[in-house]
C-alpha cells in the first residue's frame, strides 16, 4: 500500500511537469493521482503507528499478566498467596538472575599456634566454583569476592596478605592486575573487596579459582555467603584439633549439614557439605578458638605455698 501510494504521487508529479495545466486531463490526473497517493501514504503511516502502539500496549499487558500468573502459580500449586513484595524479592534475586553456580568448594586453613600470647594468625583461603549462564543470550557477570581485614592497626611487615592468585576459565589473571580488581570493588570497614567483570555466552560454564590470605584473631569467626543460586556447597577446614576448638554452622533453611566428617589427629581436616540448592546469601559460618588445657598441680605445698594451676595453648 505504501509503495502504491508513492507511485501514484509520482504519477501526479509527472502530470504536473508534462501536461498543460489548462487541460482538463491535467486537472483530472494530477488531482486524482496526487490525492489518492497522499491518502494511501497517510493511511499506511497511521496504520503502522497504531499497530506499533497497539503492539507495545499488548506486550506490556502480556508482561503484567505473566507476572500475575507467576505470582498466582504459588497459590495454585501450594495453596499459598505470596504478598506482592515477597514475590518481587524472589523475582529480583532468583528468577531474574541469569546465572547459577553448579559447583562450589571452599578450603580454609588455620595455622598452628606457636605462642601462648599469640593474637593473630594468617588464615589461608581458597574458593573454587563453576558458574553457568542459564539464559538464551550473552550476559555480563562479575567475579566478586572479599578478604577480611583487621579493623584496628596491625603491622603487616613480613606478612603476605590479600589476593594471592585468581584464575578464570583456567586462565591465570596477572598479579599486576590485582590492584585494578581491588579498585573495582567497594571496600568496607573490615572487608577488602575485589571484582573482575566478564561475559558469559548462553549456556556457557566457567571455572573460577581464588586463593587468598587474611589476617584473623586466634579466636575469631568467618562467614561465607553465596551471591546467586548454587546447586551445592562443600566446605573443608584444615586445622590441628590439638590447637583449636571449631564450630561450623550452615546458613541454610535446612539447618544442618548433609554430611560431616570431623578432623582427627591423623586427618586434620573437617569436611561438611550441603547437597541441596542454596539461595543467595546462604552459606556457612565458621567459629574457632584456641584449645586450652588445664594442667593441675599436685596437691602438695612447698614452703607452705600452694602450687598454682597453669594453662597453656596447644
Structure pTM?
0.69
Q: What does the pLDDT read at residue 287?
A: 96
Q: What does the pLDDT read at residue 12?
A: 53
Cell of 230: 548454587
pLDDT one digit per residue (tens) for the chain, 314 residues:
545 545 555 555 555 555 555 554 555 554 555 556 556 566 666 666 766 676 777 677 666 766 666 656 666 666 777 787 888 888 889 888 999 999 999 999 999 988 878 889 999 999 999 999 999 999 999 998 888 877 777 776 567 888 999 999 999 999 999 888 888 777 777 788 899 999 999 999 999 999 999 999 999 999 999 999 999 999 999 999 999 999 999 999 999 999 999 988 788 999 999 999 999 999 999 999 998 753 333 333 434 444 333 333 33
30, 123, 152, 299 from 120: Cα distances, Å: 96, 9, 12, 36
Q: What does the pLDDT read at residue 276?
A: 96
Q: What does the pLDDT read at residue 212?
A: 94
> Comparing C-alpha atoms, which of 213, 243, 252, 250 is closest to residue 108?
213
Q: What does the pLDDT read at residue 59?
A: 72
Q: What does the pLDDT read at residue 294?
A: 36
Q: What does the pLDDT read at residue 56?
A: 73
Q: Is residue 237 within 8 Å of 108, Cβ to Cβ?
A: yes
Three-state SS at 237: strand
Q: What does the pLDDT read at residue 32?
A: 54
Cell of 198: 566478564
Q: CA quadruple 17, 20, 23, 25: dihedral positive or negative?
A: negative
Amino acid at each position: 500500500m505504501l509503495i502504491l501510494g508513492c507511485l501514484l504521487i509520482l504519477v501526479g508529479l509527472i502530470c504536473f511537469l508534462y501536461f498543460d495545466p489548462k487541460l482538463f486531463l491535467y486537472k483530472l490526473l494530477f488531482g486524482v493521482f496526487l490525492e489518492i497517493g497522499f491518502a494511501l501514504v497517510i493511511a499506511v503511516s497511521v496504520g503502522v503507528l497504531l499497530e506499533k502502539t497497539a503492539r507495545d500496549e499488548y506486550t506490556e499487558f502480556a508482561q503484567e499478566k505473566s507476572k500475575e500468573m507467576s505470582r498466582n502459580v504459588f497459590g495454585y500449586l501450594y495453596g499459598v498467596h505470596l504478598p506482592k513484595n515477597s514475590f518481587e524479592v524472589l523475582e529480583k534475586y532468583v528468577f531474574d538472575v541469569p546465572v547459577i553456580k553448579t559447583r562450589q568448594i571452599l578450603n580454609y586453613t588455620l595455622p598452628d599456634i606457636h605462642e601462648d600470647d599469640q593474637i593473630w594468625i594468617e588464615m589461608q583461603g581458597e574458593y573454587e566454583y563453576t558458574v553457568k549462564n542459564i539464559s538464551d543470550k550473552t550476559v555480563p557477570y562479575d567475579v566478586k569476592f572479599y578478604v577480611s581485614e583487621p579493623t584496628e592497626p596491625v603491622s603487616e611487615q613480613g606478612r603476605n596478605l590479600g589476593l594471592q592468585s585468581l584464575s578464570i576459565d583456567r586462565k591465570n589473571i596477572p598479579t599486576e592486575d590485582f590492584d585494578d580488581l581491588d579498585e573495582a570493588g567497594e571496600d568496607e570497614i573490615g572487608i577488602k573487596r575485589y571484582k573482575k567483570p566478564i561475559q558469559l555466552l548462553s549456556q556457557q560454564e566457567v571455572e573460577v579459582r581464588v586463593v587468598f590470605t587474611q589476617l584473623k584473631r586466634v579466636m575469631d569467626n568467618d562467614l561465607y555467603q553465596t551471591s546467586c543460586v548454587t546447586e551445592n556447597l562443600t566446605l573443608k577446614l584444615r586445622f590441628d584439633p590439638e590447637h583449636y576448638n571449631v564450630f561450623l554452622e550452615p546458613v541454610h533453611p535446612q539447618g544442618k549439614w548433609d554430611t560431616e566428617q570431623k578432623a582427627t589427629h591423623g586427618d586434620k581436616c573437617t569436611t561438611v557439605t550441603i547437597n541441596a540448592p542454596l539461595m543467595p546469601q546462604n552459606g556457612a559460618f565458621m567459629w574457632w578458638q584456641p584449645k586450652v588445657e588445664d594442667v593441675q598441680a599436685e596437691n602438695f605445698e612447698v614452703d607452705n605455698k600452694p602450687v598454682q594451676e597453669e594453662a597453656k595453648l596447644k
